[in-house]
Amino acid sequence: MNNLNLLHRVSLAKAALCVLLFTLPAFALKAQTTGKKQKYVVIGYVGGYKGVADMSMVNPEKLTHINYAFVNVKKNRAWLTHEKTDTINFRNLVLLKKRNPALKVLISIGGWTWSGNFSDAVLTDTAREAFAASAVAIIKKYNLDGIDIDWEYPDLAGNSGNIHREEDKQNYTLMFKSLRHNLDILEKQSNKKLLLTAAVGGFKRFLQHTEMDKVQQYLDYVNLMTYDYFQDSLGIAVHHTNLYASRKYKTDNYADKAVSDYIAAGVPANKLVLGVAFYGRSVMVLNIAQNGLGMKTGEHVRVGGYTLIKDSLINQKGFKYYRDHNAEAPYLFNASTKQFISYDDEWSIKAKCRYLVKHHLAGVMFWEYADDKKEYLLNEIDARLKTK
Q: What is the CATH number of the domain that holds 156?
A: 3.20.20.80
Q: Please, which residues have CB within 8 angstroms of residue 387's CB and are 6 or more apart in sequence? A: 39, 40, 42, 61, 62, 63, 64
Is 0.85 surpassed by the pTM of this model?
A: yes
Q: What is the pLDDT of residue 20?
A: 43
Flag whether 71 is in a domain. yes
Cross-sheet strand order for the sheet of 339-342: 297-301, 281-285, 339-342, 329-334, 320-324
Q: How far is CA 68 from the centre of its chain?
A: 13
What domain range includes position 238? 37-277+344-385
Q: What is the pLDDT of residue 37?
A: 73
Question: Are the CB atoms for 169 and 131 separated by under 8 Å?
Answer: no
- Could you give the 3-state DSSP secondary structure of residue 167? coil
Flag whether 299 is in a domain. no
Flag whether 302 is in a domain. no
Flag whether 283 is in a domain. no
Flag whether 8 is in a domain. no
pLDDT means per 10 residues, the chain with 388 residues, are: 46 47 43 64 96 96 98 98 97 98 98 98 98 98 98 96 98 98 98 98 98 98 97 85 97 96 98 98 97 96 97 98 98 98 98 98 98 98 85
Cα separation, 358 vs 11, whole angstroms: 48
Catalytic residue among 129, 152, 187, 368: 152
Q: What is the pLDDT of residue 128?
A: 98
Q: What is the pLDDT of residue 1?
A: 44
Please list the alpha-helical segments (H only) found in the chain.
Answer: 2-35, 83-95, 118-121, 125-141, 168-190, 204-208, 212-215, 255-264, 306-312, 346-358, 376-385
Q: How far is CA 210 from the centre of its chain?
A: 18
Q: Please, which residues have CB within 8 angstroms of residue 20's CB and are 6 or more apart in sequence? A: none
Cα separation, 352 vs 350, whole angstroms: 5
Ordered DSSP codes for 70-97: EEEEETTEEE-TTHHHHHHHHHHHHHGG
Q: Please, which residues have CB within 8 angstroms of residue 268's CB and are 6 or more apart in sequence? A: 216
Q: How many domains does the chain have?
A: 1
Q: What is the pLDDT of residue 231?
A: 72
Active-site residue 61, yes or no? no
